[in-house]
Amino acid sequence: MKFNLTINGKPQDVDVEPETPLLWVLRDEIGLTGTKYGCGIARCGACTIHVDGQAAKACQIQASAAVGKKITTIEGLSADSSHPVQQAWVEIGVPQCGYCQSGQIMSASALLAKRKNPTDAEIEAAMADNLCRCGTYQRIMQAIRLASSKIQQA
């Protein structure tokens, strides 16, 4: 079935079964491989994207349900890695293997869009679904605090 989706501000035609998870549409049909598969059951957060500005798990969204929504992936978060969360991630040196990091960054940036200055408990709650097997959590906490101060100063 043919759909027209809006991804990173651009219209995209895709032809898939309507129930195909957006994750696989992004990765295999459109070629935006920054969004990752980790579990397929909403328990790892590697596939986190923004749907109308809210963090959402692309493995749980059917392609047909994405029509008319504003979809943002890691590739569209900024044109040049200039989003304060991306900057903070580089400065603190968060990523190790990096595989989970698109999802981490998308969750963190959605949180900071809602709450400029979140408490540690709010950060932990917002990031608890994002699994990182390399164990970068400590630096994720630091980087979110740094990004928060960047956003407040801006």
Residues at the contact surface with ligand FES, assessed by CB under 6 A: 37-40, 42-47, 57, 59, 95-101, 132-134, 136
Buried b / exposed e along 48-84 (16+ C-beta atoms within 10 A): bbbbeeebbbbbebebeebeebebbbbbbbeeeeebb
Among 4, 117, 138, 152, binds other proteins (CB under 8 A): 138
Our finding on whether 55 is near other proteins (CB under 8 A) is no
Using the minimum distance from each CB to ligand FES, give the nearer residue, 78 or 96. Answer: 96
Tell me whether strands 70-72 and 2-7 are parallel, antiparallel or unpaired.
parallel
* Torsion sign (Cα): 78, 124, 59, 46: positive
Q: How many residues interact with other proteins (rule CB under 8 A)?
A: 65
The interface mask with other proteins, positions 57-86, x = CB under 8 A, is ----------------xxx-xx-xxx---x
From other proteins, ligand FES, none, interface partner of 89 (C-beta below 5 to 8 A by class): other proteins
